[in-house]
């Protein structure tokens, strides 16, 4: 028997909820007939990193994709629940998804820069898509985002080089810069370092520590050590349920749930 | 580090163009759908026209009798054309199928070298040859040398059209058979040729037959190679070294005659030809390739479907 | 203990088998060599007589004693005919490819793809018959006559009273015939773009069209060009439908000028004049010479197309192995 340690969410925002940047309420999601996420609710604090851990197939990536309305792009996808960003429901019918998607940036497991575009164009394309034409603003944002992604020093010499000419780790940082360029409040990262070597991984983890000073970051990872290094809060998911959620230190050193304890001790995975 | 205030400031530069973008999105979707409609309409139109106009001509006499004198009361039938098409398909398959299959076996089993690459390249070249050029070639080589139009010349020409298609579809089908099947055979001490014949060809059976049937449908409809080689005829076959008629050729000839009866016969012949070609195409799809869309699209690209 | 006899085969047959397979493959090379040789020798007469003016001249006189042949009008005719067909077919085909890869519901994909294939399965002569007896009246009444009334004989391309058997009709029907080729390859190429690319675009807040424009189109560009060139190769070699619809002009009059005038392509003049020329002589040599030119054109186009498509496969691998 598993205990869920999530608080039952209240419908109206209470004073307590204000320090939560992003709130997911009763998210249930499925695709292709498989139920991947079962009534999961989570609250994510601003200026903090929250990690989602759990064995393969537990639904953590599906849940992540529900937060920025990417899940509905999967075939035969269904979803119920709400996602509130600064109190505003991202799933409301009044606003087109394309507007809500740009409020939350996302980085994927394998780096996927646009192969025919230069480094500059890769970062700037989100801005151009949203109607920004002013070259000064574009230059400013591109430089700012590449600096935040710890890539500026390595590429500032030639921003016109093709995005694909970079190494794997650099490409991932380019994708992070691209996601940051559309000025999101929250950054979602789906196992961002799993395809990278240890040194590139380290660079990304250091960058995340810097970024959290001004952003809300949610990172899905199958690497428990990474979660302890990088995150302030951790949610453990198993078979579509949120089993336990709390401060990272507590989850790993003092888990209240038996399944959590087994997982963090490496007894299954 | 970009603070939330700075972010909000940057966001003011986002233009409120979302409405326009969504409208453009809808326009593009509509246009693209229209493209599909525009493509389907001719197909439907052709089939409808051929079936309605052609069925008027159909009768047992039509299918079996010889054509009557041009402009006379009794228009006769297209019997020789039907016979001709069947005979031509049969004879060209006699050359095209064995050579094509063996060539495909070469490419798949022995062809992983420079010679194989050369053959593959030139096979693609031959597959994309304008068929009228093939007709001219056979004319110069065979008809002029022998001195008359013949069934042989026509079959030879069609076999050249058929050959590269069968060769490639055979190669692709054989390549789909896992290497482990072959290795299992070799491990049992079975010689290569027996492995190919009893194990590999057997597993690739479906693909092979599909490729052959599709190439048959293709040559059934080919006119250009026949223009130069068989002359056409109003009689049933009189020996394989004489002229012969064929459905596509007859349709072409009928289309240029000013008589209503000829027009009706033209539709009728087109009806018979379309039924033959489409039933092979549709039949192949449903019998063999129900779940193998990938194979089918590969075959398409290789020219099996003209 | 039962000894099971297994037919393992003899080493001699194995060798023979291998050589038979090699022989079959060599047959292809032999045929091509034979074709090229025969086209050359069969047309030698006209090259000797006309020289380079066979390619540039526009005479077409088969009267004995004054025979003179030039293929230029038909080369132009082929290019114009194929060019107009491409101009119509390419946008339609890309649209169909885009629909099938991005927009169509799963269930619709297979039946639609099959319909497109059936378009390709219809024999050329049936397209010609239908064009001749049905479609051309519609083109004449709905497109040609109105255009001629508006622009009249003042314009070059709309001059001449339209009868429906002309360059325009032949090009439109040719376009319908090459759509399946270009559309199905375009669809494959677009489907081959990894979904992660589209997701990156959606993440930035792109609409479906914008995601296509950002993620799919640049990735597929050279493949789409390759698909188009393959369609061009088909268009250049297409004979029967064009022959039945293009009107059969010869000589200098066959130079493409107005869309509403009869024209002639290399393939169609061969089909149209064969009966006259089959006795032999210079006329036949001229037709064979045209066959040679047509072959070389189609060969060059297809080689370019294959190189482009091969490049697409290579570049995809490079991009995927990021």
- pLDDT (tens digit per residue) in B52-111: 999 888 888 888 888 877 666 777 888 889 999 999 999 999 999 999 999 999 999 888
pLDDT, greater one: C164 or B102: B102
Residue A96 at interface with chain B, using a CB cutoff of 8 Å? yes
Q: What percent of chain A has pLDDT over 90?
A: 67
Q: In degrees to the nearest 10, what's the CA dihedral of B82, B83, B88, B90?
A: 110
Q: What is the DSSP string of A220-253?
A: E-S-HHHHHHH-SEEEEEETTEEEEEEEHHHHHH
Gap from B213 CA to chain A (nearest CA, Å) = 36
Q: In the 3-class helix/strand/coil scheme, how is C99-147 assigned residue by residue?
A: HHHHHCCHHHHHHHHHHHHHHHHCCHHHHHHHHHHHHHHHHHHHHHHHH
| Mean pLDDT, range B184-191, rounded to an integer | 87
Distance CA C277, CA B151 (A): 20
Give the mutation candidate from B223, B272, B287 for the C interface (greatest C CB count, under 10 A). B223
Residue A85 is part of which domain span?
A: 1-95+217-269
Helices (H), chain A: 60-67, 97-101, 119-129, 135-148, 152-155, 168-181, 198-211, 224-230, 248-253, 258-264
On whether residue A40 sits in a domain, the answer given is yes
Q: How confident is the model at residue A1 (pLDDT cuts 50, 70, 90)?
A: very low
3-state SS class at C159: coil
ipTM of the complex: 0.89
On whether residue A112 sits in a domain, the answer given is no
On whether residue A33 sits in a domain, the answer given is yes
Which residue, among B117, B106, B100, has the nearest Cα to B196 in the 3D structure?
B106
| Total of domains in chain C | 1
Q: How confident is the model at residue A15 (pLDDT cuts 50, 70, 90)?
A: low
Residue B111 at interface with chain C, using a CB cutoff of 8 Å? yes
On whether residue A137 sits in a domain, the answer given is no
Least confidently predicted of A4-8, A143-147, B196-200: A4-8
Give the mutation candidate from C102, C196, C204, C222 for the A interface (greatest A CB count, under 10 A). C204
A190: chain C residues, CB-CB within 8 Å: none
Confidence at residue A63, expressed as pLDDT on a 0 to 100 scale: 95
Confidence at residue C317, expressed as pLDDT on a 0 to 100 scale: 41
A108: chain C residues, CB-CB within 8 Å: 196, 199-200
Yes or no: say if B102 and C16 are a contact pair by the CB < 8 Å rule.
no
| Mean pLDDT, range C47-58, rounded to an integer | 86
C203 contacts A70? CB cut-off 8 A:
yes
Q: Is the model's pLDDT at B306 over the cut of 70?
A: no
The Cα-based distances of C321 to A161, A198, B7, C168 in angstroms read: 18, 19, 34, 47
On whether residue A52 sits in a domain, the answer given is yes
Left, alpha or beta for C67 (phi > 0: left; psi -120 to 50: alpha)? Answer: beta
Yes or no: say if A260 and A269 are a contact pair by the CB < 8 Å rule.
no
| Total of domains in chain A | 1
Confidence at residue B233, expressed as pLDDT on a 0 to 100 scale: 81
Q: Is the model's pLDDT at B293 over the cut of 60?
A: no
Tokens of B267: 């539709």
Q: Is the model's pLDDT at A117 over the cut of 70?
A: yes
Q: For residue C257, what is the domain's CATH number?
A: 1.10.3720.10
Residue of B nearest to A131 (CA): B15
3-state SS class at A38: strand
Tokens of C156: 């070059």
Tokens of B246: 């064929």
A134 contacts B15? CB cut-off 8 A:
no
Distance CA B125, CA B134 (A): 12
Residue C151 is part of which domain span?
A: 73-277+301-320
Distance CA A126, CA A113 (A): 12
Residue B146 at interface with chain C, using a CB cutoff of 8 Å? no
User: A20-31 and A77-85 as β-strands: parallel, antiparallel, unpaired?
Assistant: antiparallel
Tokens of A167: 């190494």
Residue B21 at interface with chain A, using a CB cutoff of 8 Å? yes
Confidence at residue A112, expressed as pLDDT on a 0 to 100 scale: 93
Distance CA A86, CA A92 (A): 14
On whether residue A117 sits in a domain, the answer given is no
B14 contacts A214? CB cut-off 8 A:
no
Yes or no: say if A114 and A124 are a contact pair by the CB < 8 Å rule.
no
Q: What is the mean pLDDT of chain C?
A: 87
Q: For residue A32, what is the domain's CATH number?
A: 3.40.50.300
Distance CA A81, CA A59 (A): 15
- pLDDT (tens digit per residue) in C102-138: 998 888 888 888 888 888 999 999 999 999 999 999 9
Q: Which of A99, A117, A179 sits opposite C203 (nearest CB)?
A: A179
Confidence at residue A9, expressed as pLDDT on a 0 to 100 scale: 40
Q: Where is A53: in which H helix or E strand?
A: strand A49-53
Yes or no: say if A205 and A178 are a contact pair by the CB < 8 Å rule.
no
Q: Which of C17, C28, C129 sits opposite B123 (nearest CB)?
A: C28
Confidence at residue B59, expressed as pLDDT on a 0 to 100 scale: 85
Q: How confident is the model at residue B299 (pLDDT cuts 50, 70, 90)?
A: low
- For A24, phi then psi, to 5°, come to -105, 125
| Mean pLDDT, range C67-83, rounded to an integer | 91
> Which single residue is written with the structure tokens 């019997």?
B79
On whether residue C25 sits in a domain, the answer given is no
| Mean pLDDT, range A132-154, rounded to an integer | 91
Indicate if the alpha-carbon torsion angle A103, C191, C299, C89 is positive or negative: negative
A214: chain B residues, CB-CB within 8 Å: 1-4
Distance CA B63, CA B10 (A): 78
Burial C20-42 (b: 16+ CB within 10 A, else e): bbbebbebbbebbeebeebbeeb
- pLDDT (tens digit per residue) in A253-266: 999 999 999 998 88
On whether residue A10 sits in a domain, the answer given is yes
Q: What is the mean pLDDT of chain A?
A: 88
Q: How confident is the model at residue B302 (pLDDT cuts 50, 70, 90)?
A: low
Confidence at residue C306, expressed as pLDDT on a 0 to 100 scale: 83
Distance CA A197, CA A205 (A): 12
Q: Which DSSP state fits C214?
A: I
Give the mutation candidate from A114, A172, A200 for the C interface (greatest C CB count, under 10 A). A114
């Amino acid at each position: 028997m598993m205990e869920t340690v999530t608080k039952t969410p209240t419908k109206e925002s209470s004073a307590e909820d204000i320090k939560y940047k992003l709130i997911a309420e009763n998210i249930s999601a499925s695709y292709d007939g498989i139920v991947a996420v079962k009534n999961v609710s989570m609250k994510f604090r601003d200026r903090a990193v929250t990690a989602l851990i759990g064995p393969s197939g537990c639904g953590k990536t599906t849940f992540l994709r529900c937060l920025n309305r990417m899940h509905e792009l999967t075939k035969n996808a269904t979803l119920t629940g709400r996602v509130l960003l600064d109190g505003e429901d991202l799933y409301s019918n009044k606003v087109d998804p394309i507007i809500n998607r740009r409020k939350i940036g996302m980085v994927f497991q394998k780096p996927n820069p646009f192969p025919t575009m230069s480094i500059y164009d890769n970062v700037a394309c989100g801005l151009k898509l949203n109607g920004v034409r002013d070259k000064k603003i574009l230059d400013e944002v591109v430089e700012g985002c590449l600096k935040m992604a710890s890539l500026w020093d390595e590429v500032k010499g030639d921003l016109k080089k093709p995005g694909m000419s970079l190494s794997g780790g650099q490409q991932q940082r380019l994708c992070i810069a691209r996601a940051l360029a559309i000025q999101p409040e929250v950054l979602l990262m789906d196992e961002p370092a799993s395809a990278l070597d240890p040194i590139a991984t380290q660079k990304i983890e250091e960058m995340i520590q810097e970024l959290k000073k001004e952003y809300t970051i949610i990172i899905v990872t199958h690497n428990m050590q990474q979660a302890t290094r990088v995150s302030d809060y951790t949610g453990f998911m198993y078979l579509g349920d949120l089993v336990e959620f709390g401060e990272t230190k507590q989850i790993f050193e003092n888990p209240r749930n038996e399944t959590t304890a087994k997982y963090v001790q490496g007894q299954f995975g | 580090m970009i603070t939330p205030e700075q972010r909000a400031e940057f966001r003011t530069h986002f233009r409120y163009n979302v409405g326009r973008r969504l409208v453009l999105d809808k326009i593009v979707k509509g246009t693209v759908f229209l493209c599909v409609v525009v493509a389907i309409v001719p197909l439907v139109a052709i089939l409808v026209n051929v079936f309605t106009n052609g069925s008027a001509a159909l009768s047992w006499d039509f299918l079996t009798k010889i054509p009557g004198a041009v402009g006379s009361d009794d228009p006769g039938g297209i019997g020789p054309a039907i016979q001709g098409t069947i005979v031509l398909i049969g004879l060209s398959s006699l050359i095209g199928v064995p050579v094509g299959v063996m060539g495909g076996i070469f490419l798949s089993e022995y062809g992983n070298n420079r010679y194989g690459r050369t053959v593959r390249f030139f096979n693609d070249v031959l597959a994309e040859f304008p068929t009228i050029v093939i007709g001219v070639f056979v004319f110069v080589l065979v008809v002029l040398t022998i001195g008359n139009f013949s069934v042989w010349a026509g079959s030879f020409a069609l076999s050249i059209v058929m050959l590269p298609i069968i060769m490639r579809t055979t190669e692709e089908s054989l390549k789909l058979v896992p290497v482990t099947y072959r290795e299992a055979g070799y491990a049992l001490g079975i010689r290569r040729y027996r492995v190919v014949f009893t194990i590999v060809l057997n597993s690739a059976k479906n693909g092979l037959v599909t490729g052959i049937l599709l190439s048959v449908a293709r040559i059934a409809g080919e006119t250009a190679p026949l223009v130069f080689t068989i002359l056409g005829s109003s009689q049933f076959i009189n020996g394989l070294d004489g002229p012969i008629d064929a459905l596509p050729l007859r349709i072409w000839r009928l289309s240029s005659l000013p008589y209503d009866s000829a027009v009706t016969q033209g539709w009728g012949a087109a009806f018979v030809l379309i039924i033959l070609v489409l039933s092979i195409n549709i039949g192949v799809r449903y019998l063999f390739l129900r779940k193998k869309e990938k194979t089918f699209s590969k075959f398409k690209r290789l020219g099996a479907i003209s | 203990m039962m000894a099971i006899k297994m037919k393992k085969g003899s080493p001699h047959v194995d060798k023979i088998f291998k050589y038979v397979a090699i022989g079959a493959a060599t047959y292809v090379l032999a045929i091509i060599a034979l074709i090229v040789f025969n086209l050359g020798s069969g047309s030698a007469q006209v090259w000797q007589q006309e020289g380079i003016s066979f390619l540039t001249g526009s005479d077409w006189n088969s009267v004995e004693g004054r025979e003179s042949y030039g293929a230029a009008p038909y080369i132009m005719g082929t290019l114009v005919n194929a060019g107009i067909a491409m101009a119509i077919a390419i946008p339609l085909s890309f649209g169909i490819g885009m629909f099938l890869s991005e927009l169509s519901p799963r269930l619709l994909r297979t039946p639609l793809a099959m319909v497109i294939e059936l378009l390709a399965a219809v024999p050329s002569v049936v397209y010609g018959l239908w064009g001749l007896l049905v479609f051309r009246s519609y083109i004449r009444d709905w497109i040609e006559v109105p255009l001629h009334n508006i622009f009249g004989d003042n314009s070059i391309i709309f001059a001449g009273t339209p009868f429906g058997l002309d360059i325009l009709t032949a090009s439109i029907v040719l376009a319908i015939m090459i759509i399946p080729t270009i559309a199905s390859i375009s669809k494959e190429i677009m489907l081959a773009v990894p979904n992660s690319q589209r997701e990156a675009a959606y993440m930035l807040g792109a609409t479906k069209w914008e995601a296509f424009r950002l993620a799919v189109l640049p990735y597929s560009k050279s493949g789409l060009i390759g698909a188009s060139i393959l369609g061009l190769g088909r268009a250049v070699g297409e004979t029967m439908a064009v022959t039945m619809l293009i009107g059969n002009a010869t000589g200098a009059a066959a130079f493409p000028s107005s869309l509403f005038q009869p024209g002639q392509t290399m393939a169609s003049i061969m089909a149209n004049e064969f009966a006259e020329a089959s006795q032999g002589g210079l006329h036949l040599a001229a037709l064979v010479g045209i066959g040679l030119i047509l072959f070389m054109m189609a060969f060059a186009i297809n080689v370019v197309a294959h190189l482009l498509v091969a490049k697409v496969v290579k570049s995809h691998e490079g991009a995927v192995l990021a």
